[in-house]
Amino acid sequence: MANTLSLPPQLDKIVQRFKRRNDPKQKYQQLLSYAKKLEPMPEEAKIPENKVSGCVSQVYITAELEDGKVHYLGDSDAQLVKGLVALLINGLNDLPPEQILEVSPDFIEETGLKVSLTPSRANGFYNIFQTMQKKALGFQMAQQQET
């Protein structure tokens, strides 16, 4: 079982929100509402370097480091996947790279979403998560080289 204490506060809030919904349909609706609220990603950011590989749908993630915190933008052509992107962005945005790297993707089990995700979507979730962590790692390494 994943240790909830290790989740950043915003991500923990999201996990708790999903845990309160027992019906898979409600969990889907929750995901879709995240998708609707996702900050739009500029079309020019949808380039191969920002594309998440290993996803059936088109998924893009960008990251910028501002004041030592990572700010993500993302998008997907599939609403449910866009919801997963939004969940991750809402949960990981504006955290320092070190904190993002400490998060284990196992929290998806706690949301109860994993059981409702098709294997390819669950796999896509992990690929999106890993892409976000890779970007955070890149920032962390760049910061270490500066010091």
* Options 7, 52, 55, 89, the catalytic residue: 55
**∠ CA(124), CA(64), CA(52), 5° rounding?**
20
Instruction: Give the closest residue to 124 by CA, choosing from 92, 90, 65, 77.
Output: 77
Question: Which residues fall within 8 angstroms of residue 113, CB to CB, at 6 or more apart?
Answer: 18, 27, 31
Instruction: Give the closest residue to 125 by CA, choosing from 147, 112, 108, 140.
Output: 108
* Helix, strand and coil percent figures for the chain, each rounded to 5: 60, 10, 25
Is residue 55 annotated as a catalytic residue, yes or no? yes
Please, are residues 86 and 37 in contact by the beta-carbon 8 Å criterion?
A: yes
Instruction: Report, as residue numbers or ranges, the catalytic residues.
Output: 55
